[in-house]
Amino acid sequence: MAHKNFTTIGIGVTFSPNLKANIYEASRLAMVFQSKLLLIHVGDVSEEKRQKFETILQPFIVDGLDAQVVFQPGKPVDAILESVTKQNIDLLILGAVKRESLLKYYVGSIARKITRNVSCSVMLLINPSIERVQCKHIVVNGLEDKKTEQTIATAFVVATALESDKITIVEEISHDKVGTVEDTKSLRKTNLLKEKIKRQEDTRVQTILSHIPEAHKKNQNIATQAIFGKRGYSIGHYAQVVRADLLVMNAPEKSGFFDRLFPHDIEHILTELPNDILIIR
């Protein structure tokens, strides 16, 4: 399966202290992916606002960025979702909020709703900055899923574009798969089983890797790592522990009411972002 191409990148903009940093980050991404950038502002058309946005964009437009400001009236969530479909956006950039006094980031309620319901890929930024911060280490999930191959392929494209030099593919082995250790006998059994699963997972990931074009793989330090924990959540924990700069993940299956009541998978990650996250859809 081929990787995702990001031809159109969208970012929701409002007049917040982070505005400039957000636009700078988005513009840089649009430049490296050579895609079109759409600034979506929820509200009616206003020339004054357009002026302000364009002033910020100016340095990038000089360098050849194809950017456009879109006004979309309505409720924030619906408005953004609507423009994503209308404008054929492939990648939506959202900023995370820093929880006061704590060094923790979480996704605000609006961004969270958008993440859940949007039809394109989403990039969640925890710390937008005006200066470029080099992305060095990308962590990508390697779980057994039909979307994984595309996710990994995209991760390599992103890694090449961002000139990151290390990529770790994480295989999450869930507890249910190996069973509970009760005594010496089951300890031995589960450890043998774990080794087996690890080998299987590794072969699967290696097959995926063999499909990645060599051009994307060179200059990359590629590693695989099996982790034990809750699927979809512990990968965020892992990314935090190894201080990764970007986490690339599959989009979860559609989450319903129950998932929010008993949060799991991506819901947990959204409440405490370890670092920037790219969700591929």
Partner 1 sequence: MSPKKNNLSLFFKALPKNIFSGFVVSLIALPLGLGLAMASEAPPIAGIIAAVVGGVLVSILGGSNVTISGPGNGLVGVLLVAITTLGIEGAYAAIICSGILLILLGFLKMGKLADFFPSSAIQGMLAAIGLIILGKQFHIMMGNKLSLDGSIAYLLEIPSTIIGVFKYTDSGLIFAAIAGISSLFIMAFYGKIRNRFLQLVPAPMWIVLIAIGISYYYELVLQQPNPVSPEYMISGIPAPAQIINEIPTPNFSAIASGSFWVSVLALTLISSIESLLSIKAVDKLDPQKRRSNVNRDLKALGLATIGSGFLGGLNVVTVIARSSVNVNNGGSNRSANFAHASFLVIFIVLFSSQLTRIPLPALMAILVYTGYKLASPKLIGKLFSIGKEQLLIFFTTLLVTLFVDLITGIVAGVIMTFIIHIIINKGASIFFRNVMKPNVLMFQEQATGTYYISVKHFCSFLNFYKLKQKLDDIPENKDVVIDFSLCQFVDHTVMENLSGYQEVFVKRDGHFDVIGLDLHGTESAHPFALRRFVPGLQKKGTTLTKRQLTLSEIAKDFNMQYEAGKLSDTHFLDSYRFFRTKKIERVYNRLFTKKSTFKIFDVNYSEGEFIAKEEVKTTMLHIKLDQNIPTFTLDREGFLEKVSLLAGFKDIPIDNHSDFTKRFYLKGQNEASIKEFFNDELVIFFESNPYYHIESNGEALLIYSKERIAGIKEIKSLRDFGERLETTISSRKLQPVEIF
What is the spatial distance between Cα 25 and Cα 95, in angstroms, rounded to a whole number?
A: 10
Per CB under 8 A, the list member of 101, 134, 184, 210 interacting with partner 1 is 184
- Does residue number 45 form part of the binding site for partner 1 (CB under 8 A)? no
What is the spatial distance between Cα 55 and Cα 208, in angstroms, rounded to a whole number?
A: 44
Toward partner 1, which CB reaches closer, 90 or 171?
A: 171
Toward partner 1, which CB reaches closer, 40 or 170?
A: 170
- Reference 40, options 58, 23, 18, 16; nearest CA is 23
SS3 92: strand
- Does residue number 134 form part of the binding site for partner 1 (CB under 8 A)? no
Backbone angles phi, psi at 30, to 5 degrees: -60, -35
Please name the residue ranges forming H helices in the chain: 19-33, 47-62, 76-86, 109-117, 148-162, 175-178, 184-210, 214-217, 234-241, 257-261, 265-271
Write down the least CB distance from residue 239 to partner 1, Å. Answer: 10
- Does residue number 191 form part of the binding site for partner 1 (CB under 8 A)? yes
Toward partner 1, which CB reaches closer, 48 or 176?
A: 176
Per CB under 8 A, the list member of 7, 187, 200, 207 interacting with partner 1 is 187
- Does residue number 253 form part of the binding site for partner 1 (CB under 8 A)? no
Per CB under 8 A, the list member of 132, 175, 196, 260 interacting with partner 1 is 175
- 42 burial level (CB within 10 Å; 0-12, 13-18, 19+): buried
Task: Map residues 212-251 to x or -, x wherever contact with partner 1 holds by CB under 8 A.
Answer: -----------x-xxxxxx--xx--xx-xx----------
- Reference 135, options 160, 155, 114, 162; nearest CA is 162
Write down the least CB distance from residue 106 to partner 1, Å. Answer: 11
Toward partner 1, which CB reaches closer, 132 or 177?
A: 177
- Does residue number 100 form part of the binding site for partner 1 (CB under 8 A)? no
Write down the least CB distance from residue 271 to partner 1, Å. Answer: 8
- Does residue number 20 form part of the binding site for partner 1 (CB under 8 A)? no
Please name the residue ranges forming H helices in 47-147: 47-62, 76-86, 109-117
Give CA separation, 203 vs 157, 171, 196, 274, in Å: 22, 11, 11, 28
SS3 276: strand
Per CB under 8 A, residues contacting partner 1 are 175, 178, 180-188, 190-191, 194, 223, 225-230, 233-234, 237-238, 240-241, 262-263, 268
